[in-house]
A and B are shown apart, each in its own frame.
Chain A
């Protein structure tokens, strides 16, 4: 057979070598055909009346009419009717508010110590001048090649962007001409979106800003975007911006809804009838079956998310509740939620509230506190079994979900819609598929999607969005495309800073949400994945109703924090080693929330096993939402010490080893 194939191959080769053939020119003679007269033939007449009569007797078939499906206009998200719902503002109270703010501005103006003010401005200008001078000197001392490199590829020392005691950076980062231009575009894009969204219902949104301290922190979200993308360029920068934009669009829209619904602001009775609140730890997927309702993760905006944007937001909450007698070693998640209620920092709104026992018992306390503060708000407590791996508990959990659906139906008059639920879950499944692709790429020697924007996006998508927003898959697709192209080109996600592969385990510090950005820029430790991202990835059932409820229960039982830190030894210890192997990491950043009792029991075991297995485990103490206990600076100092003494490493950017950001957002 092989001989035959060889012979054929040779023949074909020979044929390829032959010179091209030319056909000889041949002239065809003109041939004329003779005219022929054909005879006329008459056909016999046939009587068709009988056939017609017979045909009439046959049963008539009517051809079904096909109407082409009408393409419905794509449903807008969020439902524009929510924005249009009428406000019932207490204009008198709002007028008083405005008067007060005007009065304060006047008072500040009159009482200001102008001499001191001018002196501070002078000092500020002097510091700016000194900085610009040193930057110019630095530039002029460089060779033309070095200058060109900075112009094209950006600055190398990011620590100088911080100034001691300041909340804002001295200026934004120079990332190189192309990437700075892109960053500028995204800055405009973000401000445009924020202003556009707030203008949907500007007056309540403005009033909420005058009413709630946490609203002002959201105005600094653009600065938060900078902190998360610091040092990023090219594809990595693009992907981070795409993901952050979606999170902030969701936040901006929900802030408007909060302002519209709040009794003290928009007081929209119409919208309140449609609003179902759920606590910040309860996942949003259950709302997929209620397309006419608006589900809002109630404490997310005033407490949970804002503490990632502004490190000082939760401090007054914690102080308030501790002054009422709550022990200071309680986890800051429920402490802050309760403190926000003590300070009256939560809007009064909604038709009902879904609380949960998740991730741990602290949430039960916060839910009780919440229901006592707003006695007019009906509450449903979702209490799933903690031992989620025992399949026999799934039915119990599914029953809990059924009861919750019934509760929402009763309180709002809405009906659960299976079609809507399945549509959203198909979308969520698609998003999970893309998430798994990211994991695959990051497990290779050329990880592409690393940094805090990715971690935040994953958590937000898993917990809050959950397939509800039809605009989000587009972002997933775009990110997927950029990531794969970058992978094909073997790009460095953190140019020149890819030294160590790391994983983050346990609950991270909210007030240092951009920690993985710092550790990459300063020491070249690239965090490939966080524990909180590694949750439920099984596609959810989208056909069978009973199975769908069971899958939803499985998903809820494996929510952020609950899956690992409350999941028992196997899910938090054994799982860590499994993940370390899968992602091929050498450094483990082991967060230790000093108030998290679940994790503190495991410290010795984790330490011992890490040593046996040869991993570098850096313990990072923090107090989740309270930077006074362990500051960002102390967290950095711990890493600096380990890297210098144990790893014998040199920092990639020495300007970031020590700097002051105690007051920075």
Chain B
């Protein structure tokens, strides 16, 4: 019985800690900040580096075939 209570207590403590952590992420907008401060700057550089199709280099012979 005591063991079961202990396990339950631990589960409740972990649950409370997860809840508090998630609430902190929510309340301080840490998800938004992480995206803007780290994810976006990294990816923007990647997007700028990516080779993209250049419409000006399309060969003359390449005619549209949409029906």
Contacts and interface: CB of A to CB of B under 8 A. Distances in A.
Interface string B22-65: 11001111011101100111111111011011010000001111
Given A167-B36, A211-B50, A377-B66, A187 B26 contact: yes
A88 interface: no
Q: Is the interface of A mostly helix, strand, loop or mixed?
A: helix
Nearest to A663: B36
Contacts of A222: 31-32
A378 B31 contact: no
A209 B31 contact: no
Given A100-B46, A104-B49, A375 B64 contact: yes
B32 A104 contact: no
A172 interface: yes
Given A171-B28, A213-B47, A378 B42 contact: no
B66 A344 contact: no
A168 B35 contact: yes
A379 interface: yes
A227 to B, nearest CB: 11
B36 A166 contact: yes
Interface size on B, as a range, is 20 to 34
A393 interface: no
16 contacts: A101-B43, A101-B46, A166-B36, A167-B36, A168-B32, A171-B27, A183-B26, A188-B22, A211-B50, A216-B44, A226-B29, A324-B55, A371-B66, A374-B66, A375-B64, A378-B67
A323 to B, nearest CB: 11
A241 to B, nearest CB: 14
A184 B26 contact: yes
A210 interface: yes
Contacts of B55: 324, 341-342, 373
Contacts of B63: 375
Contacts of A211: 50
Contact of B46 (A104, A188, A372, A379): A104
B45 A172 contact: no
A187 B24 CA distance: 12
Interface of B: 22-23, 26-29, 31-33, 35-36, 39-47, 49-50, 52-53, 55, 62-67
B43 A216 contact: yes
Nearest to B34: A168
Contacts of A183: 26
B48 to A, nearest CB: 9
Given A108-B45, A211-B50, A216-B35, 15 more contacts: A104-B42, A171-B28, A183-B26, A187-B26, A188-B26, A209-B43, A213-B47, A216-B39, A220-B35, A226-B29, A342-B55, A344-B53, A371-B64, A373-B55, A377-B66
B33 to A, nearest CB: 5
Interface in A159-181: 166-172, 180
Contacts of A375: 62-66
A168 B66 contact: no
Report, nearest first, the 8 A-B pairs whose CB atoms are least far apart. Answer: A168-B32, A167-B36, A375-B64, A371-B66, A344-B52, A344-B53, A375-B65, A378-B67
B43 to A, nearest CB: 5
Contacts of A171: 27-29
Nearest to B51: A344
A219 interface: yes
B16 to A, nearest CB: 14
Nearest to B36: A167
Nearest to B45: A104
A575 interface: no
Contacts of A342: 55
A191 B32 contact: no
B42 to A, nearest CB: 6
A306 B38 CA distance: 20
Interface in A199-223: 209-213, 216, 219-220, 222-223
A371 B63 CA distance: 11
A375 B45 CA distance: 31
B35 to A, nearest CB: 5
A112 B58 CA distance: 38
